[in-house]
Every structure is written in C-alpha cells, then in structure tokens.
Structure 1
C-alpha cells in the first residue's frame, strides 16, 4: 500500500485533521505528495470550457494537467464538448433555428465549426470554436501539458474508443513518453474503459463514479483510477481504493471532481486523494501546496 493510503487510514484511526494539508505522515514520517491539480475542461472558470482558450488559460496559470470531453459528429469527426447537445455552450439555436434538439451527433463537423462557442461566456471570447480532438491535443502538446480525456456518452457513439485512440496515435500521443505520464482516458462507462484497455493496454484509465468497494477487484483488472465526485468521498473509501492494485501493478489512484474552493481542496487532500479536478486550478493548487 502506498504512502497516501497509509496517511488516509491513519487519519481515519486518529480522528484528527492532521492531514488536511499535504505535508507528511505525522505518525510514520512518510512524505505525502500534494495531489495533482487538473484543469476541468481547461481553466473553465476563466475561459469558455473545452475551448482552446481554456487550454491557453490553464497554461498561463502554470497548470500541467487538462481535462476534456470527447463526442462525435454526424460525419464521424471527434469534437471536444461536454454536453451531447450544442445549446448551452454555442449559438446553435440562432445559426440553425430549425434543427432542434441540436444534438452533436446530428451536425457535421463543418456545421459545428460555424458556431460561436465563446460568446455565452463573455464578449472577450466571441468567436471561439468547438475544437476537433486533433486541434485540442495539438494545443495541449504546444503547451507541453498532460491530458485527462473523457469519452462522453459512448453508448451514443459505437466504436468511439477505437476512433479516439486512432486520433491520439496519429497525433503522437500513444508513444512511450505520452503513455508513461501524460495521458489518462476516463469514462463513466466501465465497458468503454475495458475496451480502451483491451485495445491499448499501456494507456492509463480512470473509472468515473463511486463504485462499491466490493466491485473494485473487477474494475482493477482494467482501470488504474477510481474518480468520484468529492461529495461521495470519505477517508475510508479512498484508503479502500488504494488497497487494490490496477492493471499496471500500481495502487489504484483517486482523482476527485469538481472542487473549486480552498477549504474543500484541503478537505479532500486530507482524505488522501491523488488528484483534484477543478474549474479553478490556481485556487486549488495554492490551497494544497500550502501557499
């Protein structure tokens, strides 16, 4: 069991707040790394989510890890957008008023490229576009960042796992360096993650949600992480996850979401999480690094 799990279980036994700051295991003198900070949909508190501008803003803040969402257009292009429809984050209702309910899969890539994906956030971002996956990973690479890629709604897009991996391969993201420490693929779908693992066993994967501890042995055969909402977490649950080893022989990790304030960041750090997904990566980073 690794150091974070030891720290988490010690917290539960002692019933103290000794681990609310990422310093060390007070009882055993074991150093505990601060959790990794991941910019949710880019630095989405400061720029429109899942756009290249949000990647740029995260880079400006000095954040290494970027999270994004991948879906597929009618003509088979992978695009980076969270919702399965275009209404919330683009002007699709104005540009295509007769195309309700404006589902991503009902529009071609060329049609989606016409949409303004920035004005809803603020006038400074007017004209921002929904990026293709190729464009997005190119920008992440430009900034030498790392990518936590979520496959959204895989049931809507048969074969999206293989297609996503093909794009990543074409863009140079399945080489040894990227697979070793710059890429994680996550999903709420266990079957989708199993498919990713079967197709590319070297790629690190994360299962979103808070599965029962009794189900963890099965998930540990193909998932390297269990990534729950912070509201569902406890010290004992994180320690239970850490007690299992994943497909690459290392303890399962926990990346939690979506934490946007300093107090909650310190709280989940005390639980022993390995990563924190946040819209405000600067706030969380300063909190967990004790700044």
Structure 2
C-alpha cells in the first residue's frame, strides 16, 4: 500500500537534519549537499506510509471534512475512514456504532429508541453537529458520506477505507464496491497511484470485498497478535495484516513480509513509540497525529 504520490518519511529524519545543520560545513552549498545526502539516506532506509486515523483526528473532529482537510494539508499518505450505512442506504463516514459520543443526536432527537447510525436517514444525519464535542471552533461540522470523502481525497492523497465491524450490518462489502464503481475512473486512477486500500476486522467482510474487487489491496485488522496458522491462511488472500502496535514486534513484521504481505500498525500517537515502531520495519503507521511524521 505504498503511495507513489510522495516519498515516505521517518520521524528520525526530523531530528537528523537540524542536528546536521549545526555541524554542517561552512559554505552554504556544502551544507545543503550534506543535508540532502543524509536526508535521502535516512528516508530510503526507514520509510513508512503515514496514515491519518479518521483524518487528522488529533487536531479536528474525527471523520469530518475538517479532519480530512487537515490530513491532506499535513501531507499524510492515506486518510483512514470508517464505512457505515444510513437507514436509507447512503454510505457514511462514521466510526462508532451509535451517534452519542461525537454528535448532539440525543438533544436533536430526544427519546429515540436507538441511536445507531443505521437507524437514521441521511437527511437526519446531516442535521447533527459532529464537531462541538471536540472543540467549539468546530461547531456545526457535519457527518459526511463516503462519496464526499472520495471527492476530498481524489488526486490529493490515498484512501484506506475500513468496513465497519458493527454487527447489525449485512452487505457492507457489496455496498462499498458499488460506491467505488459509481465514481468514473476513481478506482483505476487510485490504484495506479497506489492510493487505495480497504481493511476490516471481520474476515468474512474482508474476503467478500476481495472477491468483488480483487485488484484493491485488502487488510485484516487485529487487536491481538495473529498466530502462525492465521498468518499462513491470510497470505492466501490478504494483502495486509494490520495489528495493534502493542502486539507488534520485529519477528511479526519479518514473518508478515516473508509471507508477501504488508503490515500497518495502529494507533500510534506518541513520538517515541513512532520511532520504535518505525525501527521494526512496518510499512505504515496509523496515527491521530500525521503531522508528527510529516512535519507539516
């Protein structure tokens, strides 16, 4: 899932260059040449995809246009989103199974028997304030559709779409397939640029999507460390293994690569942890703070 849009980065390079400036040769030309040489070596040896978790969700409300805009401005390689479905069939970008944590749904629709995303029409979802919970500056930020997300990232950065694991859904892989096919040229162009992938916690959903869209890289999310038997089975159809960073070590990374798959870890927010995880040789880091890796 490595993006061809821009070179991938390493946190350590953000430290190496300022240190080099202090010790650089006296002439500006020599200094620039030495900085370029060191930066190039570091970047080529320790490069990762920077994956903005629900957009740049450390600085803007998750899964909103504001978070995606920030991720693009921060030069993230991918924006990670969550795919759910409204009551009337619109695919929406929202993480939680219910709307309570990040919207004013209980105030706007008091007394509803359920606050699941799937119990509200698209028109109802669009009335909700999905930004005030994060900060008053984002008051009025709206829930957006998956189609809206694609319009925002198309030609600017990559998309990593997660099929929601909320258990009451059926048919989300087919719905996502239809959504992607409905946008002329998007899949072909995004794949050519290395800017599209899908992931899921659910094996059945991941396999179903892979059957429908065999060209699109598919990853399996896992909060636990996958066993050897699971890794071997996954290597028969999956392109990525995407575990929690806390269960990831160099042996797991090496084995995933040996089996021909990539490995993206989540959710890494502390700079020291970013450095340690990068040193393991992972392919991508999913983070709420992509600017910590891109320095943008």
TM-score between both structures, scaled by the size of structure 1: 0.83
Q: Give how far 1:179 is off.
A: 2.2
- 1:59-74 pair list within 5 angstroms: 59-74=72-87
Q: Could you tell me how far apart the structure 1 residues matched to 2:88 and 2:178 are?
A: 16
Aligned to 1:249: none
Q: 1:167 to 1:232 in 2, by over 3 A?
A: same
Aligned to 1:150: 162
Q: 1:174 to 1:60 in 2, by over 3 A?
A: closer
Q: Could you tell me how far apart the structure 2 residues matched to 1:216 and 1:153 are?
A: 20
In the alignment, structure 1 segments of 5+ residues that lack a partner are 1-18, 24-30, 246-251
Q: Does 1:179 align with 2:191?
A: yes
How many residue pairs end up in the alignment? Answer: 257
Q: Could you tell me how far apart the structure 1 residues matched to 2:279 and 2:185 are?
A: 33
1:66-94 Cα deviation digits (max 9, x unpaired) = 00001111111111000010001100010
> Is the CA contact (8 Å cut-off) linking 2:11 and 2:293 kept in structure 1?
no
Q: Does 1:194 align with 2:213?
A: no
Q: Find 2:60's aligned residue among 47, 56, 60.
A: 47
Q: Could you tell me how far apart the structure 2 residues matched to 1:171 and 1:40 are?
A: 24
Question: What is the RMSD of the two structures over their aligned residues, measured on CA atoms?
Answer: 2.2
Q: Give how far 1:216 is off.
A: 1.3
> Is the CA contact (8 Å cut-off) linking 1:173 and 1:183 kept in structure 2?
no
Q: Could you tell me how far apart the structure 2 residues matched to 1:202 and 1:131 are?
A: 26
Q: Does 1:230 align with 2:242?
A: no
Larger gyration radius, structure 1 or structure 2: 2
> Is the CA contact (8 Å cut-off) linking 1:74 and 1:106 kept in structure 2?
yes
Q: Give how far 1:174 is off.
A: 5.0
Q: Find 1:265's aligned residue among 249, 262, 274.
A: 274
TM-score between both structures, scaled by the size of structure 2: 0.82
Q: Could you tell me how far apart the structure 2 residues matched to 1:62 and 1:20 are?
A: 14
